[in-house]
Structure 1
Amino acid sequence: MADNNLIATFSIIAYDPVSEELGVAVQSKFLAVGSMVPWARAGVGAVATQAWGNTSFGPRALDLLEKGKSPQEAVNILIEADQGAEFRQLAVINAEGKAAAYTGSNCSDWAGEIIAENYSVQGNILVNEKTLQAMADSFENSKGPLADRLVKSLRAGQFAGGDKRGRQAAALFVVKEGRGIGGFDDRYIDLRVDDHPRPIEELARLLKLFYQQRDN
Structure 2
Amino acid sequence: MTFSIVGRCAETGQLGIAISSSSIAVGARCPWLRPGVGAVATQNITLPALGPHVLDQLEQGLSPAQALDKALTSNGYSQFRQLTAIDHLGQTAHFSGSETLGTHNALAGEQCVGAGNMLADRAVIETLVHTFENSGGQLADRLIAAMQAAVAAGGEAGPVHSAALVVVGELTWPIVDLRVDWADEDPIGQLAQLWTDYRPQLQDYITRALDPTKAPSYGVPGDE
Compute the TM-score of the two structures, normalised by the length of structure 2. Answer: 0.88
Q: Is the 8 A contact 2:18 2:144 kept in 1?
A: yes
The reply to whether residue 28 of structure 1 matches residue 28 of structure 2 is: no
- Does residue 172 of structure 1 match 2:202? no
Q: Could you tell me which residue of structure 2 aligns to residue 213 of structure 1?
A: 201
Amino acid in structure 2 at the alignment position of 1:206: L
Are the equivalent residues in 1 in contact too, given 2:106–2:115 (CA < 8 A)?
Answer: yes
Return 5+ residue gaps in structure 1 as ranges: 1-7, 179-184
Query: How far 1:215 moved relative to its partner?
Result: 5.5
- Quick check: 1:34–1:194 contact (8 Å CA) kept in 2? yes
Residue 12 of structure 2, aligned match among 16, 19, 25:
19
1:195 alignment partner in structure 2 = 182
The residue that corresponds to 1:5 in the other structure is: none
Q: For 1:22 and 1:127, locate their aligned partners in 2 and report how far apart those are by CA, in whole Å.
A: 27
Superposed, which structure 2 residues align to 1:96-175 within 5 Å?
A: 96-175=89-168
Give the greater-gyration-radius structure (CA).
2
Matches of 2:9 and 2:202, distance apart in 1: 20
Q: Report how many aligned residue pairs link the two structures.
A: 203
State the alpha-carbon separation in 2 of the partners of residues 209 and 13 from structure 1: 22
Q: Deviations over 1:61-113 (max 9, x none)?
A: 11110000100000111122233110100111100000000000111121120
In the superposition, the TM-score normalised over structure 1's length comes to 0.91
CA distance in 2, matches of 1:189, 1:15: 14
State the superposition RMSD in angstroms. Answer: 1.1
Superposed CA offset, 1:149-186 (max 9, x none)? 000100011111111121100000000112xxxxxx33
Instruction: Give the whole-Å Cα distance in 2 for the aligned partners of 1:208 and 1:141.
Output: 20
Aligned to 1:77: 70
Q: Supply the distance in 2 between the matched residues of 1:215 and 1:73 (Cα, whole angstroms).
A: 36
User: Are 2:64 and 2:85, in contact at CA under 8 Å, matched by a contact in 1?
Assistant: yes
